[in-house]
């Protein structure tokens, strides 16, 4: 049975001074049996967040990693530098693709470094509005998955616990809303491509998250789809009460899936 995962992407919010308090508040408010909880703060807040969530069951992730392990790369952070600070990493987020010009080929190299370093990757894929309106959504996402995974060992991807987050960029901050059926259809399409480029076993076990402006009010619709296994949460993850409601819904989903699996 695939795990139910709620990952918080704090983006460029919090300072080291206030990150610990926020992480502790989220941990206290969002206890969820059988839900994998991850907080991904800015690099400067990794240490206070790690210390604040120790013993709570919450895991810590980084928001990015460099494609080399060391070198003359001013301002960058390598996978080896994250040892002891994070066990997860977000790769290929739509904002990195948009603002830093990250390509699938570059993300593929970053993913390789994550595998080598024992970081559990959340690989982000998703289409923009013009692709959705032109009927190219699945083709675009399929190409992203192929480009990011091609050449990587299927056993290594399985061992690291690869997660893919579907980000419908057209539904983030635009006023347009994706539906559960949209996320479910894309999750199925993602698994078909993973089965092709990696292995059917990896595809079957692959958690696929929804990552399009998730809120406490919208999460139930997405978790109601059997092919959607959780959420990559942005702005709502900075609000302990919102996170508590999201994790609570995820816990209900996890319990129901466990009961169905046992039956």
* Residue 89 binned pLDDT confidence (cut-offs 50, 70, 90): very high
Residues 6+ apart with CB under 8 A from 248: 30, 32
pLDDT, position 31: 86
Provide the whole-model pTM: 0.97
Per-residue pLDDT tens over the stretch 133-187: 999 999 999 999 999 999 999 999 999 999 999 999 998 877 787 999 999 999 9
Are 163 and 206 in contact by the 8 Å Cβ rule? The answer is yes
pLDDT beyond 90 at 57: yes
Residue 76 lies in domain: 4-262
- The active-site residue out of 127, 167, 225, 242 is 167
Annotation marks residue 93 as catalytic: yes
- The active-site residue out of 67, 93, 95, 127 is 93
* Residue 55 binned pLDDT confidence (cut-offs 50, 70, 90): very high
Per-residue pLDDT tens over the stretch 1-22: 899 999 999 999 999 999 999 9
pLDDT, position 263: 63
From CA 230, how far away is CA 202, in angstroms rounded? 18
**Residue-wise DSSP of 23-41:** HHHHHHH---TTEEEEEE-
CATH of the domain at 99: 3.20.20.70
Residues 6+ apart with CB under 8 A from 70: 78, 80
* Residue 216 binned pLDDT confidence (cut-offs 50, 70, 90): very high
pLDDT, position 173: 74
Are 211 and 165 in contact by the 8 Å Cβ rule? The answer is yes
Three-state DSSP class for residue 7:
strand
pLDDT, position 200: 98
Chain centre to alpha carbon of residue 182:
18
Looking at every residue in the chain, the average pLDDT score rounds to 96
pLDDT, position 105: 98
Half-sphere exposure in the Cβ direction for 130 (13 Å, CA):
0
Name the H helices within the chain. 16-29, 46-53, 94-99, 104-117, 129-133, 137-149, 154-160, 180-197, 200-205, 219-223, 240-262
The mean pLDDT value for 190-217 works out to 96
Element (H, E) at 5: strand 4-9
pLDDT beyond 80 at 192: yes
**Dihedral angle at the C-alpha atoms of 139, 173, 29, 205, nearest 10 degrees?**
0
Element (H, E) at 166: strand 163-166
Number of domains in the chain: 1
């Amino acid at each position: 049975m695939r795990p139910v995962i709620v990952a918080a992407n704090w983006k460029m919010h919090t300072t080291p001074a206030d990150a610990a308090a926020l992480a502790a508040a989220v941990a206290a408010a969002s206890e969820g049996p059988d839900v994998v909880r991850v907080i991904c703060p800015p690099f400067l807040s990794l240490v206070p967040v790690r210390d604040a969530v120790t013993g709570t069951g919450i895991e810590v992730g980084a928001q990015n990693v460099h494609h080399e392990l060391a070198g003359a790369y001013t301002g960058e952070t390598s996978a080896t530098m994250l040892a002891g600070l994070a066990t997860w990493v977000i790769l290929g987020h739509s904002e990195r693709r948009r603002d830093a010009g990250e390509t699938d080929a570059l993300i593929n190299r970053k993913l390789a470094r994550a595998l080598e370093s024992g970081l559990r990757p959340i690989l982000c894929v998703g289409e923009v509005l013009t692709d959705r309106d032109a009927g190219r959504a699945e083709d675009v996402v399929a190409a992203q998955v192929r480009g990011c995974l091609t050449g990587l060992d299927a056993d290594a991807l399985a061992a690291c616990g690869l997660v893919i987050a579907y980000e419908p960029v057209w539904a983030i901050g635009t006023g347009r809303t994706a539906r559960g059926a949209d996320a479910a259809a894309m999750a199925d399409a993602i698994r078909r491509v993973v089965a092709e480029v990696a292995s059917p076993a990896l595809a079957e076990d692959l958690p696929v998250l929804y990552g399009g402006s998730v809120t406490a009010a919208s999460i139930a619709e997405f978790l109601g789809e059997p092919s959607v296994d959780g959420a990559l949460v942005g702005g709502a993850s900075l609000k302990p009460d919102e996170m508590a409601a999201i994790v609570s819904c995820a816990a209900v989903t996890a319990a129901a899936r466990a009961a169905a699996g046992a039956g």
